[in-house]
Amino acid sequence: MFITGGHTARRLWRQSVRNFGGKERVIVQRLKSVTTIEKITKSMKMVASSKMNQDIKRLRAGENYGRNAVDHIFKADLYMQRKMPAEVAEPRELLIPITSDKGLCGSINSGLARMLRGYIGSETNRFGIYSLGEKGSNALRRPFASIYKGGATDLTYPINYSLSLALADKIGRMADDYDKIVLVHNKFVNAVTFKIHRIELMTKKRFAECMKFQRLYEMEKPDATTAVPAIYELYISSNLYYAQLQNAACEQSSRMVAMDNASKNAGEMVEKLTLEFNKARQQSITMELCEIISGAEAL
- Count of CA atoms in the C-beta half-sphere (13 A) of 241: 26
Containing structural domain, residue 198: 55-256
Are 182 and 95 contacting, i.e. CB atoms less than 8 angstroms apart? Answer: yes
User: In the chain, pLDDT over 90 holds for what percent of residues?
Assistant: 60
SS3 121: coil
Residue 97 belongs to some domain of the structure = yes
Residue 184 has pLDDT above 90, yes or no: yes
**At 8, is the pLDDT very low, low, confident or very high (cuts 50, 70, 90)?**
low
Whole-angstrom distance, CA of residue 43 vs CA of residue 245: 24
Whole-angstrom distance, CA of residue 244 vs CA of residue 186: 9
| Strand 180-190 to 193-202 pairing | antiparallel
Amino acid at 147: I
Residue 282 belongs to some domain of the structure = no
Residue 224 belongs to some domain of the structure = yes
Q: What pLDDT is recorded for position 10? A: 52
Residue 143 belongs to some domain of the structure = yes
Whole-angstrom distance, CA of residue 5 vs CA of residue 9: 10
Of 64-78, 171-185, 201-215, the range with the lowest mean pLDDT is: 64-78
Instruction: Give the mean pLDDT of 193-202.
Output: 94
Residue 17 belongs to some domain of the structure = no
| Strand 93-97 to 127-132 pairing | parallel
Dump pLDDT digits (tens) for 136-179.
999 999 999 999 999 999 998 888 899 999 999 999 999 999 99
Dump pLDDT digits (tens) for 238-284.
999 999 999 999 999 999 999 999 999 999 999 999 999 998 888 88
Residues in contact with 100: Cβ distance below 8 Å, sequence separation at least 6, in sequence order: 108, 109, 133, 134, 135, 247, 251
Residue 63 belongs to some domain of the structure = yes
Residue 7 belongs to some domain of the structure = no
For the domain that residue 119 is a member of, what is the CATH number? 3.40.1380.10
Dump pLDDT digits (tens) for 21-68.
668 889 999 999 999 999 999 999 999 999 999 999 999 988 888 777
Are 199 and 239 contacting, i.e. CB atoms less than 8 angstroms apart? Answer: yes
Residue 144 belongs to some domain of the structure = yes
Q: What pLDDT is recorded for position 288? A: 81
Report helix angle 224-298 to 8-15, nearest 10: 50
Query: How many structural domains compose the chain?
Result: 1
Are 94 and 130 contacting, i.e. CB atoms less than 8 angstroms apart? Answer: yes
Of 38-42, 96-100, 229-233, the range with the lowest mean pLDDT is: 229-233
Residue 216 has pLDDT above 80, yes or no: no
More reliable by pLDDT, 166 or 17: 166
What b/e sequence results for 220-259 when a residue is b if at least 16 CB atoms lie within 10 Å of its CB, and e otherwise? eeeeeeeebeebbbebbbbbbbbbbbbbbbbbbbbbbbbb
Average pLDDT, the chain: 86
